[in-house]
Amino acid sequence: MLTAKQQELLLFIQRRLDEGGVSPSFDEMKDALDLKSKSGIHRLISALEERGFIRRLPNRARALEVLKLPDGLERQRKVVALPKSAPVAPPATLPIAANDVIEIPLHGRIAAGVPIEALEGQAMLSVPAALLGAGDHYALEVSGDSMIEAGILDGDYALIQRTDVAREGQIVVALIDDSEATLKYYRRNGAQVRLDPANAAYEPQIYDPRQVRIQGKLAGLLRRYN
């Protein structure tokens, strides 16, 4: 069952697709639902995607497809047939909106070398929607150089998808002893957890599994050049 806001957003997207064949922008969805932040829209879209009501078309920031509507609403939809003599226009190419952005929480700095204290902040970071997939996300500013061989540099913004599980070889945010966080490759070492750097100058970190809690996995990077 969908929440009222999820259903309202789903119907708004469907109406815009019916009218012009193009899904609305995040700004348009935010205004239509009278929300203060586009991060709320991102969470609603992720929830609809996880429940199988919509899907994001690949490689496009503003391309959503409605897969289904709730049963009661599906029965109420009207299907309008074109007269046989009416010419059928070729399907329009959906425009790519490169300026669709959402805001995600920015939680301080995280070490890509020796673990440092995990900071919780109230700042927000604007991120191109195309960089994020389904799920809830936050950002961390990278401090250190132990992940440089994975292309993660000091000062980068790591975009993290929240999760408490990880697969072998994923780059994760690991919270050590509930006090320090680090960005590393996640691996199992027998009965222990091994957090591997991507820099030959650093040694792997070995922990008892009870010391380590996964806080998320790397979903993308933002980098500034000035």
Residue-by-residue DSSP string for the chain: ---HHHHHHHHHHHHHHHHHSSPPPHHHHHHHTT-S-HHHHHHHHHHHHHTTSEEEPTT-TT-EEE----HHHHHHPPPPPPPTTSPPPPPPPPPP-TT-EEEEEEEEEEESSS-EEPP---EEEEEEGGG--SS-EEEEEEESSTTGGGT--TT-EEEEE--S---TT-EEEEEETTTEEEEEEEEEETTEEEEE-SSTTS--EEE-GGGEEEEEEEEEEE----
Query: Terminus-to-terminus CA distance in the chain, angstroms?
Result: 47
100 alpha carbon, distance to own chain's centre: 13
* Residue 184 among the catalytic residues: yes
* Residue 146 among the catalytic residues: yes
* Candidates 25, 39, 46, 184; catalytic one: 184
Angstrom distances, CA of residue 19 to CA of 23, 123, 177 = 10, 37, 54
* Candidates 84, 146, 179, 217; catalytic one: 146
Residue with tokens 């700095």: 109
Active-site positions read 146, 184
